[in-house]
Structure 1
Amino acid sequence: MIKTIFTLILSVSFLSCAEMQQIANQFPEINQSNQLDIAGGLKEALNNGISKQVSKLTAVDGFYKNEAVKILMPEELQKVDKALRRVGLGSLADDGIKMLNRAAEDAVKESTPIFVDAVKQMSFADAKNILMGNESSATTYLQTTTTSPLYAKFNPVIKSSFAKVGADKVWSNIINKYNAIPLVKKVNPDLTDYTTNKALEGVFKMIAVEEKNIRTNINSRTSTLLQKVFSLQDKKL
C-alpha cells in the first residue's frame, strides 16, 4: 500500500515544478531523470499495494475464514447467539454469521476505485508525512480520506447482498425466534450498518498489515523502486 502512495505522488503528472524541486532538495537520491520510470511503476505499485491485501477479502471466505477480520454477531446479539445455541439452533446462528461475512466480501469489491482516487488527490506534504511517519501513517491517511465514500458504496451493496442470499429472511427468523424466548429483552439491530462498519474495519486492518510489512521488512521490497524509496525512510530512522 505505502509503495502505491509514494509512487503516485512522485509521478510527473501529479507534481508541480515547485514540488519537484522540493523533492530534489529533500531527497537528492531521487533525481528528475528517473521520474518517468517512477511514474511507470504506478500499475505495479497499485497491484502490489492495495490489491495485495484488499483483494484477499473479496474472495469467498475472505472475511469468514480470516480470524483477524471475521465479522461476528454485534454485541447486542451475542446473547442471541448463546440463547439460540442453548435451544439447539446453533446452525441457524452459524448461517447468520456466515451471511454477514458474505455481504462484506461482496462490498469490498467496490473499494479499489475509491482508494485509487484518494491516492491521486494526495499532496506532496501528505506523501512526505506518510513516508517519514509511523508504521500506520498511510493507513491513517486512507481512513481519513476514504471512510465516508467507502461507507456510501458498501452500505447499499451489503443491503443488496443480504437480500440476494436471503440473509434478510434468515436474520428475521433468528431475531423472531430469539424475541419469542420468554423473558428476553427484544432486539432489532441495524445489521446493514453494523456489517458496513465491520467491513471497513477489516479493510483498513489488512492494509495496515501490508504497510507495516513493507516498512519493516526489507525483503518485502521486491522492486528497485521500493528499495530506492524506502531506503530514504530507513535513513531517517
Structure 2
Amino acid sequence: MNLAGKLRHFAPAPPLRQPHRLPGFPAALFFIAMSTRLATLLLTAGILAAVPAAWAQTTKKTTTAKATAAKTAAAKAAATKAAAAKTAAAKAAATKAAAAKAAAAATPAPAPVAPLTEAEASAGIKDALNKGVTKAVAFASEKDGFNTNDDIHIPFPEDMVLMKSTLGRLPGMSTVMSTFETQLNRAAEAAAPKAKDIFLAALANISLTDALSLVTSSSTDAATQFLRKSTEAQLVAAFKPDITTAISQVGAEAAYTKMTTQYNRIPLMTPVQTDLSAYTTQKAVDGIFILMAQEEAKIRRNPAARTTDLLKRVFGTK
C-alpha cells in the first residue's frame, strides 16, 4: 500500500449525521418533536414487553375457568346419577313391597290348628315315654353303658372313700379298688333290661288329664318325673335281686370282702358296713331315669327327634 492509501486509512471518521432539520425550523421545536418521538418509541417498547405477561395471565384464567367448568359438570353429572339410582332403588323397593303385599293377599290364611285333645295328649306322651324307655334301657344294658357314661357312672360308695384312700397305699390294693368300681357298673348294666317291662306297664295307667298336663308342661322331663313317682319303688324291688346276683357273679362281692377285711383291722377306724346291693340298685335306677329324661328333652326341644306324626302333632302344638 502506498503512502496515500495509508493516510486515507488513518483519516478521522466523518462527523455524525445530524438529524435533518428543515431550514428555518426552530431548534426548540425540533427538540420537542424528537422527545415526543422517543417517548412514543419507549411506550411502544413497554407495551410490546407487557404483551407476553398479559397473554400468560389471560391463558391461565382461561385454563382455570375450563377446569372449574369441568369440575362443575362432573359434580352435576354425579349428582344426577345418584339421584337416578336413588329413584330407581325406591321404585324397585316399592314394586317389591307391592308384589309381596299382593302375594300375601292372594295366599289364603292357614287353617287354624285344632286344640290338642286329651286322647291325642295321652297317645303322644305314651309314645314319647315308650321311645325314651326303649332307648334308655338299651343304652344302659350295653357293656360300659354305665361304666363309661359320666352322667350315670356308679362311683365308689361315699362311706367307703376313707377306706379307699387308706388302702390305696398298700401294695396291690389300688388295682383291687379300681376293678371293684368297674364291677359295680357291670352289675347295673346286667340288671337294666328288667326296667323296660315295669315302665311299659306303668304307661297304661297314665290318665287323660295327667297326659294333657304333662304334654303342656314347661319342664323338659315332666313325664319322666311323673313316671318315676309311680315306678321307682317297684323298680328298686325288681332290680335288687338281680343286682345282688350280678355283684357276686362279676366279683364285686369278693373284692368288697377283701377290702373291708383289711380295713376293719386297722385300730381306731370305724368299720365299713356298706350294703352294696342297696347302693348299686339305687344308683342303677337313678341312671335309668337320667337317660329317660334326656330322651324326653330331645323330643320336646328338637323337632328332628319327633319321628312320628303323632309326636309332631302333640309336641309341635303350643
Bucket of the pairwise TM-score, normalised by the shorter protein: 0.7 to 0.9
Matches within 5 A, 1:29-68: 48-68=131-151
Which residue of structure 1 aligns with residue 195 of structure 2? 111
Correspondences of 1:10-159 after superposition (within 5 Å): 28=114, 48-88=131-171, 89-133=173-217, 134-159=219-244
- Please tell me whether the aligned partners of residues 139 and 211 of structure 1 are also in contact (alpha carbons under 8 angstroms): yes
By how many angstroms is 1:45 displaced? 5.7
Q: Give secondary structure in 2 for the equivalent of 1:49.
A: helix
The answer for unaligned runs of 5 or more in structure 1 is 1-26
RMSD over aligned CA atoms reads 2.5
CA deviations over 1:194-214 (Å, ceiling 9, x no partner): 111111111111111111111
Q: Distance in 2 between matches of 1:193 and 1:146?
A: 17
Secondary structure in 2 aligned to 1:110? Answer: helix
Closer, same or farther: CA 31–184 of 1 in aligned 2, 3 Å:
closer
Q: How many residues align?
A: 203
Residues 130 and 137 in structure 1, CA contact (< 8 A), matched pair in contact too? yes
Q: Relative contact order (alpha carbons < 8 A, sep ≥ 6): 1 or 2 greater? A: 1
Q: Distance in 1 between matches of 2:129 and 2:298?
A: 16
Cα distance change, pair 178–130 in 1 and its aligned pair in 2 (3 A): same
Judge conservation of contact 2:243–2:281 (CA < 8 Å) in 1.
yes
Q: Does 1:184 align with 2:269?
A: yes
Deviation at 1:151, TM superposition (A): 0.6
Whether the 8 Å contact between 1:107 and 1:157 is mirrored in structure 2 is yes
Q: What letter corresponds to residue 294 of structure 2 in structure 1? A: V
Shift of 1:42: 10
| Same amino acid, percent of matched pairs | 35
Work out whether residues 107 and 153 of structure 1, in 8 Å CA contact, stay in contact via their aligned partners in 2.
no
CA offsets per residue over residues 152-205 of structure 1, 9 Å max, x none?
110000111112223221211111122233432211111110111111111111
The equivalent of 2:41 in structure 1 is none
Q: CA deviation at 1:215?
A: 0.8
Task: After TM superposition, give the deviation of residue 29 of structure 1 in Å.
Answer: 5.3
* Aligned counterpart, 2:44: none
Match of 1:16 in 2: none
Change (3 A) 1:184 1:115: same
Q: Is the Cα contact below 8 Å between 2:125 and 2:223 reproduced in 1?
A: no
Deviation, 1:140, is 0.8
Matches within 5 A, 1:168-183: 168-183=253-268
1:86 partner SS: coil
Match for residue 21 of structure 1? none
Could you tell me which runs of 5 or more consecutive residues in structure 2 were left unpaired when the two chains were aligned: 1-112
Using a 3 Å threshold, how does the CA distance of structure 1 residues 161 and 146 change in structure 2: closer, same or farther?
same
From the superposition, tell whether residues 31 and 141 of structure 1 become closer, same or farther in structure 2 (CA, over 3 Å).
Answer: closer
Change (3 A) 1:86 1:130: same
Partner Cα distance (2:246, 2:281) in 1: 12
TM-score between the two structures when normalised by the length of structure 1: 0.78
1:11-44 Cα deviation digits (max 9, x unpaired) = xxxxxxxxxxxxxxxx835689x98xx97x9997
Mapped contact 2:177–2:255 kept (Cα < 8 A): no
Distance of 1:211 and 1:44 partners within structure 2: 10
Instruction: Find the structure with the greater CA-based Rg.
Output: 2
Q: Distance in 1 between matches of 2:210 and 2:189?
A: 30
Seen in structure 2, the aligned counterparts of structure 1 residues 220 and 189 have a Cα distance that, compared at 3 Å, is same
